[in-house]
Amino acid sequence: MKHENINQSSFGMIGLGTMGSNLLQNIADHGYSCSGYDNDPKKVDTVNKLGNDNIHAFSDIKDFVQNLKSPKIVMMLVPAGKIVDSVIAELLQVMDKGDIIIDGGNSHFTDTEKRFEDLEKKGYHFVGMGVSGGEEGARKGPSMMPGGDKKAYETIKPILEKIAAHVNGAPTVAYMGERSAGHFVKMVHNGIEYALMQLISETYEFMKSGLQMDDKEIHDVFKKWNEGRLKSYLIEITRDIFAYKKKGEDHLFFNDIKDEAKAKGTGKWTSQAAMDLAVPVPMIDIAVSMRDLSKYKELRTEASKLYPDATKSDLKDKTESIEKLEQAFYFSMVSAYAQGMHLLDQANVEFKYNLNLDVIAKIWRGGCIIRSEFLEDIYAAYKNNPKLAHLFLDDSIHKSLVKSIPGIRNVVSEAVLSGIAVPTYSVALSYFDNVRSEEMPANLIQAQRDFFGSHTYELKGKEGVFHTDWEDPNH
């Protein structure tokens, strides 16, 4: 493999934590000389001790930048927020106009929008890039979602395509679109991730409390599912979690973990953006809410004493129930992706990103956390019809979804009757039933709004906006 001159690095990385270090090693493994910078001397020392001739780390930002060939390419992997702005300010003191700055962290897309405009005015190229795949993805091949300066992307494209994961020979990286498009796409990716994780946790609860299955039986179900149409990274790691025991212990380790889920905020951002764009993403919304509710352990413990579980599950036929659960999971999984893609479609209209939904589905097929067998179907759907308004309208997905309807209705009904909380399953079904409704009961809401607030309404088959004095005795 060709090794470049260490004094003329092709790529610079700021932030030498596990993600930054792994990504640098990935780049170096593909023959590129890299430079790294961190203000923590221990992290710098750790990277320099890797013994990789293609990597050299610095604790002085000026030395770091001087080691890069022009145009200089510097990627930041630092916590979102003010730290990103402070690092950019430092870089502008030592970089030249025409150089490329990449933000590879989980920045909010509105921050990326401002940074793009500011740096463009100052003569710098800025790329906001979502990176998914975790530590292992960074080392072996992530999925990357760069947006912003198209000219800059063309410069960094050869490196990114080499270090990305590959599916059927195609790299899981592509130009997403204008300005903050990359970080918006990554945000929606994370929102879908929240929904799928909550869905899997409810599936576990249904098997455990409803079907009275033990951990080994549950492991076997996830193992089987990962060999079929539900095959995905999240199902795969869930299967492995249900097999992991600490050395010398005879019980599954995850049972020792507190039932209080943490979050870094990207799911909430997805819900907020969807609200602003008036796009319903109820599965993502409820997943965020359930993580929030999990934190109120003391409240839940107190309430559990006041409202003990008085219902008993009557699900005796496990085989039939698991078949229906598989249908329900497929149905809900489709809905989670469909809601996320619908949000991307509407954001494209509002923000003029020039997104290509088939390209997004294509690069999500490998490397990222929400990679799954079903993404092949999503890719095919948008490839076949780039103007597809909603995944539910695709012919192939429609056929599979219809076959899964009995399963989702059964699981939601049985869960409710058994006192088992399945909020994502429930909203997946309610969302579907409303999407397929030619008429919703929203006419009553309009009448109520007009009654108490004179907010007016429109009438069927009649042009104009109207108001009624609902309390007029002479109507």
Q: Which residues are annotated as a binding site?
A: 106, 132-134, 189-190, 194, 264, 291, 449, 455
The H or E element containing residue 325 is: helix 318-351
- The label of the residue with tokens 């870094």 reads 264
Q: How far apart (Å, rounded) are the C-alpha atoms in residues 240 and 223?
A: 8
What Å distances lie between residue 185 and 128, 343, 353, 354, 441, CA to CA? Answer: 10, 10, 10, 12, 33
List the structure tokens of 51. 């013994």
Question: Would you call 193 a catalytic residue per the annotation?
Answer: yes
Q: Is 9 helix (H, G, I), strand (E, B) or coil?
A: strand
Active-site pick, 72, 113, 178, 193: 193
Q: Which residues are annotated as a binding site for substrate?
A: 106, 132-134, 189-190, 194, 264, 291, 449, 455
Task: List the one residue out of 383, 335, 433 whose CA is nearest residue 441.
Answer: 433
Q: Is the peptide bond before 441 cis (omega within 30 degrees of 0)?
A: no
Helix residue spans in 129-180 (DSSP H): 134-140, 150-163
Active-site pick, 43, 72, 113, 186: 186
Question: Would you call 43 a catalytic residue per the annotation?
Answer: no
Task: List the one residue out of 139, 124, 130, 42 whose CA is nearest residue 88.
Answer: 124
DSSP code per residue over 187-235: HHHHHHHHHHHHHHHHHHHIIIIIS---HHHHHHHHHHHTTTTT-BHHH
Q: Are the CB atoms for 287 and 426 separated by under 8 Å?
A: no
* Spatial CB neighbours of 180, under 8 Å, sequence gap ≥ 6: 109, 110, 112, 113, 116, 128, 147, 148, 351, 353
Q: What angle do CA 464, 467, 469 make, to 5 degrees?
A: 155
E strands, 282-440, where? none
Residues designated as active site: 186, 193
